[in-house]
Amino acid sequence: MNLQEKLAILADAAKYDASCASSGGNRRDSSDGKGVGSSGGAGICHSYAPDGRCISLLKVLLTNRCLYDCHYCINRRSSNVRRAAFTPEEVVRLTLDFYKRNYIEGLFLSSGIIRSADHTMEMVNEIARALREVHDFRGYIHLKTIPEASPELIEQAARYADRISINLELPTQQSLDRLAPEKNLARTKYAMGRIRLKLEDASERKKTGDKKLRHATSQSTQVIVGADASTDADFLTRSEELYGSYRMSRVYYSAFSPIPEPSSLLPLAPPPLIREHRLYQADWLMRFYGFRPGEIVTPEFPYLDLNMDPKLAWALRQRHEFPVDLQKATRAQLLRVPGLGVRNVDRILSIRRHVSLRLEDLARLRVSLAKVRPFIITADYHPGNLLESEHLYQRLVPKPVQLELFPHALR
């Protein structure tokens, strides 16, 4: 099998992993005439996955051979797919060639488990080591680590990578026992905890003057949505734990995609993609708006409303907290008003020091007046009994859009 055939197989096998964003990495370049590449900046060609995700990395598996038999994974041991494997030297050569051709800004490398977790992790680390130490590669490197590997190997990966990640896959041990019997939630969280401690230690060393220290700056993870019976409440509760206890930089939600010759334990159809989108919106509310999972989803309603964004759905359930006077409300109260984002909240706090806010001021900030009207009071507006209307939900739900059958021909 030649290199091109291997690349076609192993790049396609890696497409299911969404946790490859390059945000949070240190910026480095070779403008001083030393080394190869940079971790960001101009001259980067971006490609896009079919679902719209921006990919500017060489995103491949070292191999799609695997000892594990995770039912949701196309590369599982029992899957009837064509197998391939790179040598470490081939991955290094591809990365450097693609970078010099301006195709990518770095490398996202994952792998199936071959021989053992430690053996696989050693090969992944060797690729990163060769890029950094032999070729002085200064581009972005994201390594997918294996929780079953020894802590020393995972820590070694962090010394070469900008970001490392361990996929959680499913939010509960019960689901893992059913669909990924070789994986253990406690072991994965233990590995995440060690990574957090090492990241914090590296951060402190850099603050105290160790400028030459090379170390990953963050870790991320991915969960699969719709492969099991886990509710949105299960996902958001687990994400809150990951952000709080393990300082996760991002939790990625990936809608389950049916695979060829699927296991009988898997659903026949994928979940609606809007469910993945709503989970990202709810995740944003927890990270930047001060929401807790128990506010966004409840025991009575463990799934997010697919018809509207989670913040608006929450506001309609908590109508007694509105309307909010924009002239007097605290920042925390303003952040919970549907239609007001973090940037506009900060602008409102600044503007109201000098003038009494009016609807026209919100219009100039490009705030959606239709969305905020029921929930706010300004100098020239009060919603009256609008919040008590039985038809408010129907008014605020986005109207269906008729898609064009032949969009190009009709223009």
> What's the 3-state SS for 318-362?
CHHHCCEECCCCCHHHHHCCCCCCHHHHHHHHHHCCCCCCCHHHH
Give residue-wise pLDDT tens across range 97-107.
Answer: 988 887 888 88
The CA-atom distances, in angstroms, between 329 and each of 183, 289, 313, 337 are: 48, 15, 21, 10
**SS3 of residue 55 by DSSP:** strand
What is the average pLDDT across 290-295? 96
The answer to whether the beta carbons of residues 251 and 242 sit under 8 Å apart is: yes
Token pair recorded at residue 17: 């992993």
Range with lowest mean pLDDT among 26-40, 207-221, 228-242, 300-314: 26-40
Q: Which residue has the tokens 């997918």?
A: 144
The superfamily in CATH containing domain 3-296 is Aldolase class I (3.20.20.70)
Percent of the chain with pLDDT over 90: 58
The answer to whether the beta carbons of residues 153 and 128 sit under 8 Å apart is: no
pLDDT (0 to 100) of residue 353: 94
The answer to whether the beta carbons of residues 195 and 158 sit under 8 Å apart is: yes
pLDDT (0 to 100) of residue 395: 87
pLDDT (0 to 100) of residue 24: 41
Q: How do the domains of the chain map onto residue ranges?
A: 3-296, 310-396
pLDDT (0 to 100) of residue 19: 58
pLDDT (0 to 100) of residue 35: 53
CA–CA separation, 125 and 122 (whole Å) = 5
What is the average pLDDT across 248-261? 88
pLDDT (0 to 100) of residue 170: 94
Q: Would you say residue 38 has pLDDT above 80?
A: no
Q: Which amino acid is at 257?
A: S
CA–CA separation, 249 and 168 (whole Å) = 14
For residue 224, give every residue at least 6 positions away whose Cβ sits within 8 Å of its Cβ, in sequence order, or none.
72, 169, 170, 254, 255, 256
Give residue-wise pLDDT tens across range 229-254.
Answer: 999 999 999 999 999 999 999 999 99
What is the average pLDDT across 129-156? 91
pLDDT (0 to 100) of residue 25: 43
Stronger pLDDT, 404 or 332, i.e. the higher one: 332
Token pair recorded at residue 189: 């969280």
Range with lowest mean pLDDT among 3-7, 275-279, 295-299: 3-7
Q: Which amino acid is at 325?
A: D
pLDDT (0 to 100) of residue 338: 95
